[in-house]
């Protein structure tokens, strides 16, 4: 159940984003509606600061965007992080305070804590970076309902890593009412963010 403080904050947020009146019809979401709705997964990995991070507990009461990728990715990962960072800079501060972005590396061999933190800082210093053993990361992907590709045991040099391109936002009710794939942009996140925060 939401705390009284959170409830008051969200009521104030209704006015900020212009949905405080029933006369304003809420537009449909831009993201893809999954069926059934994915529930927020429960897994624990390690932050770039070296602390354990229990995903479900640590993001309670936040609209939380979850993405599995890696820092050497040339297209989907940097584009997605850049777009969501741009969206967060453009939404009202009252919305931004209730949003968390969590990036889980699928390449722990190269994405050390220091490398991952420096890469995420290019987009937003508040983004949370998580890592762990390959087994732990795969378990996290499975908990989130992400299809896990076969592991390549012969990686060397500048290799690519197969990974999902899904960006999954879990609303305050702990369900993902939409998901995003490649092809969605900053404007889509800006449009959906307050709706995901206020509706659910």
Predicted pLDDT at 41: 97
pLDDT band for position 156 (50/70/90)? low
Domain ranges, ordered by start, for the chain: 27-149+161-199
**8 A C-beta contact, residue 179 and residue 38:** yes
Q: Which residue shows structure tokens 């490649």?
A: 182
Name the residue among 84, 114, 111, 86 with its Cα closest to residue 100: 84
Q: Which three-class secondary structure state does DSSP give residue 114?
A: helix
pLDDT of 153 above 70:
no
Name the residue among 43, 59, 42, 53 with its Cα closest to residue 113: 53
Predicted pLDDT at 174: 96
- Mean pLDDT taken over the chain: 86
Using one digit for the tens of pLDDT, what is the confidence trace for 8-41? 343 333 333 444 433 345 679 999 999 999 999 9
Give the predicted TM-score (pTM) of the model: 0.84
Predicted pLDDT at 14: 37
Superfamily of domain 27-149+161-199: Glutaredoxin (3.40.30.10)
pLDDT band for position 139 (50/70/90)? very high
What average pLDDT does range 138-160 have in this prediction? 79
SS3 breakdown of the chain: % helix, strand, coil, rounded to 5?
35, 20, 45
């Amino acid at each position: 159940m939401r705390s009284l403080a959170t409830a008051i904050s969200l009521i104030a947020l209704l006015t900020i984003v212009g949905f405080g009146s029933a006369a304003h019809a809420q537009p449909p979401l831009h993201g893809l509606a999954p069926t059934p709705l994915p529930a927020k997964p429960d897994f624990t990995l390690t932050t770039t600061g070296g602390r354990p991070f229990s995903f479900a507990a640590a993001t309670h009461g936040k609209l939380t965007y979850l993405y599995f990728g890696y820092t050497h990715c040339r297209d989907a990962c940097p584009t997605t992080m850049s777009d969501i960072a741009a969206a967060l800079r453009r939404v009202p501060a009252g919305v931004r305070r209730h949003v968390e972005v969590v990036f889980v590396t699928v390449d722990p061999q190269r994405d050390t804590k220091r490398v991952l933190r420096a890469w995420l800082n290019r987009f937003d210093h508040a983004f949370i970076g998580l890592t762990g053993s390959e087994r732990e990361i795969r378990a996290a992907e499975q908990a989130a309902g992400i299809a896990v590709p076969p592991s390549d045991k012969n990686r060397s040099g500048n290799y690519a890593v197969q990974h999902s391109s899904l960006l999954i936002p879990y609303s305050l009710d702990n369900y993902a009412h939409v998901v995003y794939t490649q092809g969605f942009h900053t404007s889509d996140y800006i449009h959906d963010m307050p709706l995901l925060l206020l509706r659910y």
